[in-house]
Structure 1
């Protein structure tokens, strides 16, 4: 069975494919420069084409449950809906993993994104920088707190997508409780 995990978002979205408990491929989509509501069309088109190309048996999404504010509700539910529609239009089954389940299968129940990424790195012997993309400062801070080239943050979307595949594989294919 070929599994595709999609960590949906309106700025960045990660995706991964897996079969027989092993990663096949993964990637990151950058939507950060596309304004709402046009980004929703881009998300739909990209996911429709990607699902059609990879031909998964099932698409796994993280069930949206926590929102910071009304804007994040609109963005995340919009992205979730576009990915769902793309899968439906490709006649591919859709499954959801709750955030608590995802964390349970990828570490501890309270795992943060970095912990999940490190778990995926170790489990599959992957380069952390490939699944948790480093983003660096481009110029020096006037106050001297950071310099160009210092690590600003990581984009964990790919490792989250891979974790979605792994959690689905463990729960539904291997039957791990």
Structure 2
């Protein structure tokens, strides 16, 4: 199975493509980081990220897209940018009929390191080791995108989809979102 992993961000969006092989082996296909300049207008920035995502989808034709689930942070503008990029990715995948799976950061960390609270360095080190790379993908957004793709590949495509939350954390998140909509 070929998977495009996406670490969404408005300034840097990690994009990593892996092939899942027999016996839980993973092969690197491609990795990049789409960038946009913080001084540009948001529509222009989203367009730049969208073009990079479209290129990855057209070039590598993944069977699935794995995306880091947006989670609440203290910085609202960061959350908004991540959510907007996530929407761009979901639309691009939907246009091609490619399923989208969502993962929390702790789910990805646990999948690749065995520890849901692992740091970026530990995730990067494990991605490097799992893919047999000579050096760690940089910046961290690239390694994170590959980790997301690996997590999905190891689940065999049976991960939570964009329309269905399945883990306890995802169910609580969905319930909180529904409650907020009822209040607002």
TM-score (norm 1): 0.78
Structure 1 residues 174 and 83: CA distance shift in structure 2, 3 A: closer
Q: How many residues in Structure 1 have an aligned counterpart in Structure 2?
A: 152
Q: Of 131, 141, 148, which residue of structure 2 is paired with 1:164? A: 148
Superposition misfits of 4+ residues, deviation over 3 angstroms = none
- Deviation track 1:8-52 (CA, whole Å, cap 9, x = no partner) reads 111111111111222222112221356231211222222123212
Structure 1 residues 66 and 114: CA distance shift in structure 2, 3 A: farther
2:9–2:85 contact (8 Å) kept in structure 1: yes
Q: Of 31, 35, 52, which residue of structure 2 is paired with 1:30? A: 35
User: 5 Å matches for 1:1-177?
Assistant: 1-19=1-19, 20=21, 21-32=26-37, 35-37=40-42, 38-107=44-113, 108-129=115-136, 131=137, 133=138, 155-172=139-156
1:44–1:85 contact (8 Å) kept in structure 2: no
User: Which residue is 1:149 aligned to?
Assistant: none
Gaps of 5+ in 1: 134-154
Structure (1/2) with the larger helix percentage = 2
2:50–2:89 contact (8 Å) kept in structure 1: yes
Distance 1:61 1:116 in 2: 16
Gaps of 5+ in 2: 160-184
Distance 1:174 1:7 in 2: 19
* Cα deviation, residue 82, structure 1: 0.8
Distance 1:32 1:68 in 2: 22
**Larger of the two Rg values belongs to structure:** 1
Structure (1/2) with the larger strand percentage = 1
Distance 1:86 1:34 in 2: 25
1:52–1:90 contact (8 Å) kept in structure 2: no
TM-score (norm 2): 0.75
